[in-house]
Amino acid sequence: MANKLNYDSKSLLNIKFSPNQKGYNPLEVDQVLDKIIKDYETLNNAINEIANKVEQQKGQYDKLKEDFDRVTVQMATLQKKYDALKRVSNVTDDNYTLVNKVAAYERVLHRKGINLKKALSDPDNC
């Protein structure tokens, strides 16, 4: 909240107006009411800002939920394909692990500047 409130509940309870012949001084009452109106405007602005932020967050949440649901469906589809591939090709988890290790070794060799084709064709002179 950018603006400071003029009154809180205790200060409102403790307001004292100067009495005059017809009751209270109308100018003092008007000044207090003007400050109360400003407080309500400040609170309403803060509430509107929060409501806008909530709407933005809700929109982001909805988009993320859609993305999550889409990825979940994709993962399930890929898992089915993976399971089917394992059944058809008799690929075991050990084979899969070995393939991943080989790929990792290839990346290391590539980073070190070793030509894989040359290394495979002539291992002694790579």
Say if residue 1's pLDDT is above 70.
no
For 27-63, write each residue's pLDDT tens digit.
888 898 888 888 888 888 899 999 999 999 999 999 9
**2, part of any domain:** no
**49, part of any domain:** yes
Domain count within the chain: 2
User: Do 98 and 67 lie in a common domain?
Assistant: no
User: Do 98 and 72 lie in a common domain?
Assistant: no
For 57-95, write each residue's pLDDT tens digit.
999 999 999 999 999 999 999 999 988 887 787 767 787
What are the start-end ranges of the E strands in the chain? 19-20, 23-24
Q: pTM score, two decimals?
A: 0.45
- Strand 23-24 with 19-20, pairing: antiparallel
**14, part of any domain:** yes
User: Do 96 and 122 lie in a common domain?
Assistant: yes
Domain boundaries, position 121: 92-126
Say if residue 107's pLDDT is above 80.
yes
**1, part of any domain:** no
Longest dimension (CA), the chain: 113
Angstrom CA distances, 31 to 63, 75, 102, 120, stand at: 48, 65, 81, 91
User: Do 55 and 103 lie in a common domain?
Assistant: no
pLDDT of residue 52: 96
The answer to whether residues 34 and 26 touch, using CB atoms and an 8 Å cutoff, is no
Residue 104: which pLDDT band, with cuts at 50, 70 and 90? very high
The answer to whether residues 6 and 39 touch, using CB atoms and an 8 Å cutoff, is yes
The answer to whether residues 6 and 36 touch, using CB atoms and an 8 Å cutoff, is yes
- Residue 73, class by beta-carbon neighbours within 10 Å (0-12 exposed, 13-18 middle, 19+ buried)? exposed
